[in-house]
Amino acid sequence: MTITYRGTTALITGASSGLGAEFATQIAARGADVVLVARREDRLRQLADKLAREHHVAATVIPLDLGRAGAVADLVRELGDRGTDIRTLVNNAGFGMKGAFVESDADRIAEMVQLNVSTLVALTRALLPQLVAGTGALVNIASNGAYQPCPNMAVYGATKAFVLSFSEALSFETRDTGLTVVAVSPGATKTEFFDVLGQRGYAMASFQTSEQVVTRTLRELDRRDTPPSFVSGRTNAIAAKMAGIVPRRLALAMAGRALG
């Protein structure tokens, strides 16, 4: 099914920087109006002005903390008030924490589960009737951590494993509609995610750029047989595959050393 961008509206969460800003840029370049959602209004407005100027699309800014309970209801209400139908949804908002689970802040853990899982599910459910009525895309951002246990990032890895499983199931459930569903596992990418998380133990030279990840994603969506999920980057894909082949204890030990 060919995805329609021009003349439709795409909503991108976490759109103020990194992958979210790049998704907004490349989708706008294909002619879609965009709704940009994130906490940092100043950055959203700068991006919206740039997209409107360069691609002649409508770029709507909705500053919102999607990690807050009730935020999805507020967002859906505002979309309804504006009369905005969404045909493509990019669930990009999320964050990670590094450190032993026993030492992690309980409130921050709850916020991560809220944003990475609960918000993603609630927003997807709220907009899915609109999405399946058209020929757009649902893109959920997972992680290489979805394919293996993640010591010292235990909750983050578990949230992304949820996103991967959830997305693949939705891909099957919506197979007879015009919607294309894909879970993207970017691997290490040069975004603010690693600025916040810290880069110890990661080889920056091996990081992909946001442009590379988004370009690959849209290329997969252009295919007639878009896979329900994929890992971006050859090295990342090999690592994810190996994690599923080697004994679980070995995969756990390897991840523990990498994330220790």
Reported as a single tens digit per residue, the pLDDT across 224-245 is 999 999 999 888 888 888 888 8
In a domain, 72, yes or no: yes
> Which of 95-99, 112-116, 144-148, 203-207 has the lowest average pLDDT?
203-207
Cβ proximity of 160 and 145 under 8 Å: yes
Reported as a single tens digit per residue, the pLDDT across 37-84 is 999 999 999 999 999 999 999 999 999 999 999 999 999 999 999 999
Give the HSE-up count for residue 180: Cα atoms under 13 Å, Cβ half-sphere. 21
Q: What was the pLDDT predicted at 201? A: 47
Mean of pLDDT values over 96-101: 95
Kindly tell me if the per-residue pLDDT of 195 is higher than 70.
Answer: no
In a domain, 3, yes or no: no
Query: How many domains does one find in the chain?
Result: 1
In a domain, 47, yes or no: yes
Residue with tokens 């020929």: 135
Kindly tell me if the per-residue pLDDT of 194 is higher than 60.
Answer: no
In a domain, 2, yes or no: no
Q: What was the pLDDT predicted at 44? A: 98
pTM of the model: 0.91
Name the most confidently modeled range: 105-109, 204-208, 254-258.
Answer: 105-109
In a domain, 152, yes or no: yes
Reported as a single tens digit per residue, the pLDDT across 166-191 is 999 999 999 999 999 999 999 887 77
Q: What was the pLDDT predicted at 260? A: 67
More confident residue, 11 or 193: 11
- In the structure, what pLDDT confidence band is assigned to residue 253 with cuts at 50, 70 and 90? confident
In a domain, 1, yes or no: no
Mean of pLDDT values over 101-119: 97
Mean of pLDDT values over 103-128: 98
Mean pLDDT value across the chain = 92
- The closest alpha carbon to 153, from 193, 184, 125, belongs to 193
In a domain, 4, yes or no: no
User: Cα separation of 184 and 240, whole Å?
Assistant: 12
Please give the share of the chain, as a percent, with pLDDT higher than 90. Answer: 79
Q: Catalytic: 156?
A: yes
Read off the tokens for 172: 């099957």
Q: Which residues, including other chains, have CB under 8 Å from residue 137's CB and lie 6 or more apart?
A: 3, 88, 89, 90, 179, 180, 181, 182, 221
Q: What was the pLDDT predicted at 160? A: 98
Q: What was the pLDDT predicted at 154? A: 96
CATH of the domain at 79: 3.40.50.720
Q: What was the pLDDT predicted at 189? A: 75
Kindly tell me if the per-residue pLDDT of 91 is higher than 70.
Answer: yes
User: Cα separation of 105 and 102, whole Å?
Assistant: 8
Which residue range is the domain that position 89 belongs to?
Answer: 9-259
In a domain, 22, yes or no: yes
More confident residue, 193 or 120: 120
